[in-house]
Amino acid sequence: MDKYDAVIVGTGPAGMGAAFSLLEKKKDISILMIDKAPVSTGGMRNDCKMNFTYPIGFPFEYWDEATADRYLAQVKEFLKPSILPKSNIAVYQSRAEKLGCSLLEIQQTHLGTDGGLRLIQELLKRLQDMGVDISLKEEMLSINGEQKFIETDLREIGYKTILIAPGRHGFHFLQDVMQSLGVRYMDNILDVGVRLETRIEHYPIVKDYYDPKFYFPEKVRTFCTNSGNAHVVKEKYVTERGDIWYSVNGHAYAPDAARNNGLVNFAMLKTVRFTEPLASGQKFAEYLGVMASLMGGGKPLMQRVGDFRMGKRSKTATFNGDLYDFEPSLKDCCPSDISLAMPSKILRYIWSGMKKLDTIIPGILHPSTIMYYPEIKLYANKPEYIDSHFQVVDSVYFAGDGAGTSRGITGAWASGIRASEGMLEHLS
């Protein structure tokens, strides 16, 4: 059986943060990183905008400001981001405050989907040059916590310490791992909402602030704004029962004036926190996703704001002509009536947030704006950690979005560093 001091499952930012940190602090360490995908699949690969200001990406349960800032400084030092300039922020902030909303001023950088791929490849090469074994297209299947080995689709691998960082898509996989290790967990929080797509002139703030973070009452917020050469995409999910559904998402390529499509997209999300007796917020989310998929003939739904206001279903005809003057960037989507598929309380709060946003920056409620549904974030596994380094049982650590310790690239990277400090204690 192959054996390593440290095994890292997942080459996303959590895995990378841990690997570089381990190497920096213990030069002679043997490390294996595996990933089931040919290239890391998360946000570094999609749009790759990075936020360097607390609390963006740092769940309050695990991070206070001082701790997050300490790790963020290390992430910044390593990634050396060129922070994007911002302007007119005070004007937007004052308009938002008058409506009981707020606009957070965040340090951001944006590499784009193509720039993110280059970054991943460069980082993996650096790791390999530093002696890390990297095995892509290898999937972890199970763990034996007593005898300290994992089983993949290719082999068995022994570890002294292990970090499992499978991201949001590894949600069910991580739950299986927790069940086999006897780790208790909760998953009572989720984000549900719509992704809006409109012309840049209807949301011109993006010229002043690439990814503006507005917070509205009732836990509604803007999230993941993309502009320039920006596209809405769909992500496939499969429930444990085998039902397929899609969540929408968005990304943009690196700035390139020749290829700008003049569009902007961003999510309006509502955070929902369940209490007893609902056992799983994720299962609730899946039912929402499956219902939307049922209505959309296996596709996500889209509706023009103009139709939504009139209480009418959007039809193919709604996607042409006059007021409806741009094509949706996500073609494989069903013109529909999202209010039939979305719980009314969530929709009401999101619509209220959209009206406030349209008052702060007039334009977003233009009839042509498209609302895509559903956008659901499945990243709220909350394991019971036994220490502050995200250890779940002896020598086994979790980190990143799948494990609930982050909600973004920089938070995931910081989580990986934090976990690596615990892993090092095992090795010394």
Which of the ranges 13-21, 94-102, 189-197, 314-322 carries the binding residues for ligand FAD, by CB under 6 A? 13-21
Which of the ranges 261-269, 318-326, 353-361, 405-413 carries the binding residues for ligand FAD, by CB under 6 A? 405-413
Q: Which is nearer to ligand FAD, 29 or 124 (CB)?
A: 124
Total site size for ligand FAD, rule CB under 6 A: 44
Report the sign of the C-alpha dihedral through residues 150, 155, 158, 164, in that order.
Answer: negative
Q: Which is nearer to ligand FAD, 29 or 44 (CB)?
A: 44
Among 7, 19, 29, 43, binds ligand FAD (CB under 6 A): 43
Record the tokens describing residue 293, joined without a space.
């998929």
193 in contact with ligand FAD (CB under 6 A): no
> Where does 185-343 show beta strands of DSSP type E?
185-186, 189-199, 213-216, 220-228, 230-238, 244-252, 263-273, 301-304, 334-335
342, 307 Cβ separation under 8 angstroms: no
Among 6, 7, 33, 34, binds ligand FAD (CB under 6 A): 34
Which of the ranges 36-44, 82-90, 91-99, 237-245 carries the binding residues for ligand FAD, by CB under 6 A? 36-44
Which of the ranges 11-19, 126-134, 238-246, 338-346 carries the binding residues for ligand FAD, by CB under 6 A? 11-19
378, 285 Cβ separation under 8 angstroms: yes
DSSP H or E segment with residue 409: helix 409-427
- Antiparallel, parallel or unpaired: β 133-136 and 31-35: parallel
Interface of this chain with ligand FAD, residues 127 to 166, rule: CB under 6 A: 139-140, 165-166
The H-assigned helical ranges of 130-247 are 171-181
420 in contact with ligand FAD (CB under 6 A): no
228 in contact with ligand FAD (CB under 6 A): no
Among 4, 173, 246, 253, binds ligand FAD (CB under 6 A): 173
191 in contact with ligand FAD (CB under 6 A): no
Q: Which is nearer to ligand FAD, 22 or 50 (CB)?
A: 50
Q: Which is nearer to ligand FAD, 14 or 132 (CB)?
A: 14
Among 7, 23, 31, 48, binds ligand FAD (CB under 6 A): 48
21 in contact with ligand FAD (CB under 6 A): no
- Antiparallel, parallel or unpaired: β 301-304 and 334-335: parallel
49 in contact with ligand FAD (CB under 6 A): yes
What residue has token string 């001082």? 66
Report DSSP letters for 302-370, one per residue: EEEHHHHHTT----GGGGSSTT--S--S--SSEE--GGGTS-HHHHHHHHHHHHHHHHHSTTTT-TT-E
To ligand FAD, the closest distance from the beta carbon of 211 in angstroms equals 8
Count CA atoms within 13 Å of residue 182 on its CB side: 5
What's the full length of the chain, in residues?
A: 428
Interface residues with ligand FAD (CB under 6 A) are: 9-15, 34-37, 40-44, 46-51, 57, 139-140, 165-170, 173, 224, 235, 249, 251, 400-402, 406-409, 412
